[in-house]
Amino acid sequence: MPIVHRIAVLTLLLGACGLAAAETVLVTGSNRGIGLEIARQYAARGWLTIATIRRAADDPEAAELRAIAAQHPNLRIEQMDVTDLNQIRRIADKYRDTPVDVVINNASSNQPTMAADMAKVGVGIAELDFDDTLWTYQVNAFGAMRVAQAFLPHLERSKHKKLVTITSMAGSFARAMGGGAFNYASSKAAVNKFMEVLAVSVKEKGVIVNLLEPSYLVATKPDMKDMPNTVPVAIEVANLLKDIDAMTLDRTGKIISIPTGEVLPF
Ligand SMILES: NC(=O)c1ccc[n+]([C@@H]2O[C@H](COP(=O)([O-])OP(=O)(O)OC[C@H]3O[C@@H](n4cnc5c(N)ncnc54)[C@H](OP(=O)(O)O)[C@@H]3O)[C@@H](O)[C@H]2O)c1
């Protein structure tokens, strides 16, 4: 059999086994916490995993991600600060020929420790720093919007077409948490509404848009290790991957609970 025919047969066989074109996922904020674990679990599944971080790839804070990349050549680390539209567009252009099946907006303006996060939650209206408000929106809300805009063409050309944004109960109207966290809570409410509107506008293209809401609380910080009633990151992210697998167009635009997979009210 001529060599070209042999290659064609091999391609068909690999395609039939699902091996020809690996699925691709892109995740933001993947050097620690939930994002790091998302990168780890998709890389272990064999997906092409574009693990984006706001830091340079050789930053000490990306050591754990580099260790995963060393074990999984299908994981690529890319520098992408979600507040920097040029950087986002550069990565989108670099992967312009790669359909991206799942895009996950995970990055959040949170601090590296729970204590530092709680100090910000406790800031009252009189002390509110609007530069910090703007920064929180830049990361949590506008960051997800920028990434959605830049990677919609990659999603549209993919097999699964799933855009995920990790939200928080703090942003809910129906399930208000009773005060605090002005900046964080309102930035999450903003991104919720944006994604709900986006879901309607891209439904006819087959793109599924969901907000995924974590358990309260996921133990992502070193000082949460001994806190009672927290969920280990690996368990939460295993559920998150199942929820993404289960995403369908008939539930597009909804908030989905990560631990239960159920639709939650806004
Ligand atoms: N943990 C929970 O219990 C919980 C509950 C509800 C919702 N969530 C949501 O789940 C998501 C992940 O939470 P987490 O606890 O894993 O957070 P985390 O541990 O604080 O990690 C946040 C990640 O976002 C990155 N990031 C910050 N600013 C960025 C920027 N401008 N561009 C790109 N990346 C940036 C951080 O990078 P650096 O290391 O460089 O700062 C870090 O990798 C967030 O959206 C959060 O709101 C978490």
Which residue segments constitute the domains of the chain, with CATH numbers given? 23-264 (3.40.50.720)
Distance 182 CA to ligand 1 centre (A): 17
8 A C-beta contact, residue 43 and residue 49: yes
C-alpha distances (whole Å) from 217 to each of 35, 78, 97, 213, 238 are: 15, 28, 38, 11, 15
Closest ligand 1 atom to residue 188 Cα is 47
Best residue among 50, 68, 110 to mutate for probing ligand 1's pocket (most ligand atoms within 8 Å of CB) is 110
| Ligand 1 pocket, Cβ-based, cut-off 6 angstroms | 28-29, 31-35, 54-55, 61, 81-83, 106-110, 139, 166, 168, 214, 217-218, 220
Distance 59 CA to ligand 1 centre (A): 17
Residue type, 264: L
- Burial environment of residue 262 by CB neighbours within 10 A (0 to 12, 13 to 18, 19 or more): exposed
8 A C-beta contact, residue 170 and residue 188: yes
Distance 108 CA to ligand 1 centre (A): 4
The pLDDT tens digits of the residues spanning 186-239 come to: 999 999 999 999 999 999 999 999 999 999 999 999 999 889 999 999 999 999
Binning pLDDT at 50, 70 and 90, where does residue 20 land?
very low
The pLDDT tens digits of the residues spanning 115-153 come to: 999 998 889 999 999 999 999 999 999 999 999 999 999
Binning pLDDT at 50, 70 and 90, where does residue 12 land?
very low
How many whole angstroms separate alpha carbon 27 and alpha carbon 103? 6
- The pLDDT of 75-92, averaged and rounded, is 98
Closest ligand 1 atom to residue 81 Cα is 32
8 A C-beta contact, residue 31 and residue 58: no
| Average pLDDT over all residues of the chain | 93
Closest ligand 1 atom to residue 230 Cα is 3
pLDDT for position 7: 43
Look at residue 182 and tell me whether its pLDDT is greater than 80.
yes
